């Protein structure tokens, strides 16, 4: 199954789970409320997620005079990909990492940390930036944002159900009480299922961005080398990252935390590197 088909199936499952939870909590009215809530949250995410995440990490715009190498690499890659030059930002963190955000190629931004600029050579940096531009090309930012939003909404509905049980239970639109066993199972299992589906979406998109980035540079080994460095450095210098945005980064900024590793938003680095090293640069389409 292709990564795009997997992503479509996972998003459909996530949306179906959201509506089902709403229906269990409040019948037809609950399902409609869940659907409207999903539309509102997705609208907000679509238009404002880039500004929110950049502000969250204190990212500042960087001009060509401040980072000429980064600007040159991104301009060349954007020209190859036939997309507008994205806005570039610098995150004041020694933890090496990078992410892309924005609802489409016309409103995209790429952010890099101070740490990644210190440890990468130009070939590796090109691989990282090609990976991020591939997320923009593949509309992964929007897909991941929608997945995170719906998963968060499911967790919110489960919390509402929990408080409803504490304060006297819940009833559907016909006044019937909700099955308490089904309600308890929903409170426990729905957020976990939503998280697992969200992680599956994120992992599928990371594999695709690695492949697309390698295709863009015609140099899969440059990105493989960069991922190897990032994996080693992330275990030494950890980033103060919000778990809700961990899926945006090229490597999981929470990978050094044992609890978070149980809920990885990224495929294993070893697997990603092995896939890239198995690619033949001379066999790639020109």
Helix (H, G, I), strand (E, B) or coil at 140: helix
Give the sign of the dihedral formed by CA 223, CA 229, CA 235, CA 238. Answer: negative
pLDDT digit string (tens) for 110-121? 999 999 999 999
Q: Please state the length of the chain.
A: 286
Q: Give the Cα separation of 91 and 89 in Å (integer).
A: 7
Which pLDDT belongs to residue 262?
45
Helix (H, G, I), strand (E, B) or coil at 23: helix
pLDDT over 90 (residue 264)? no
pLDDT digit string (tens) for 164-215? 565 555 544 454 455 566 566 666 776 677 777 777 777 888 999 999 999 9
Which pLDDT belongs to residue 44?
77
Residue 195 phi/psi, 5-degree rounding, is: -65, -40
Out of 66, 114, 122, 132, pick the active-site residue: 132
pLDDT over 50 (residue 122)? yes
Q: List residues bridging with 101 in a β-sheet.
A: 109
CA 65 to chain centre: 30
Is 66 a known active-site residue?
A: no
Report which of 9, 10, 8, 1 is spatially closest to residue 195, judged by C-alpha positions. Answer: 10
Q: Give the Cα separation of 194 and 11 in Å (integer).
A: 10
Contacts of 129 (CB under 8 A, 6+ apart): 70, 73, 74, 77, 98, 110, 112
Domain boundaries, the chain: 3-283
Which pLDDT belongs to residue 258?
45
Residue 95 phi/psi, 5-degree rounding, is: -70, 120
Which pLDDT belongs to residue 176?
47
| Tokens (6 digits) for 168 | 């006297």
Which pLDDT belongs to residue 40?
79
E strands within the chain?
Answer: 60-61, 87-91, 98-101, 109-113
pLDDT digit string (tens) for 20-42? 776 666 556 666 766 677 677 76
Residue with tokens 């001009």: 63
Are 164 and 170 in contact, with CB atoms under 8 Å apart? yes
| Tokens (6 digits) for 144 | 């991941």
| Tokens (6 digits) for 80 | 């190859």
Residue with tokens 């495929």: 267
């Amino acid at each position: 199954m292709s990564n795009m088909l997997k992503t479509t199936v996972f998003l459909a499952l996530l949306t179906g789970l959201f509506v089902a939870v709403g229906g269990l909590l409040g019948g037809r009215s609950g399902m409609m409320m869940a659907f409207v809530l999903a539309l509102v949250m997705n609208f907000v995410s679509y238009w404002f997620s880039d500004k929110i995440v950049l502000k969250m990490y204190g990212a500042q715009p960087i001009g060509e005079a401040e980072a000429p190498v980064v600007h040159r690499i991104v301009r060349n890659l954007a020209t190859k990909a036939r997309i507008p030059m994205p806005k570039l930002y610098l995150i004041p963190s020694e933890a090496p990492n990078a992410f892309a955000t924005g609802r489409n190629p016309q409103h995209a931004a790429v952010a890099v940390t101070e740490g990644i600029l210190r440890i990468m050579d130009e070939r590796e940096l090109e691989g990282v930036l090609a990976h991020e531009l591939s997320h923009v090309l593949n509309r992964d930012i929007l897909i991941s944002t929608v997945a995170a939003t719906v998963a968060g909404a499911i967790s919110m509905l489960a919390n509402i159900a929990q408080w409803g049980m504490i304060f006297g239970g819940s009833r559907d639109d016909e006044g019937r009480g909700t099955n308490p066993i089904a309600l308890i199972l929903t409170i426990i299992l729905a957020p976990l299922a939503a998280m697992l589906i969200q992680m599956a979406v994120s992992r599928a998109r990371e594999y695709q961005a690695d492949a697309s980035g390698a295709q863009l540079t015609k140099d899969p080994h440059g990105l493989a080398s960069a991922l190897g460095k990032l994996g080693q450095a992330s275990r030494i210098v950890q980033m103060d990252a919000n778990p809700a945005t961990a899926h945006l980064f090229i490597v999981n900024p929470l990978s050094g935390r044992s609890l978070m590793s149980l809920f990885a938003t990224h495929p294993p680095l070893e697997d990603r590197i092995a896939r890239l090293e198995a690619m033949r640069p001379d066999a790639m389409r020109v």
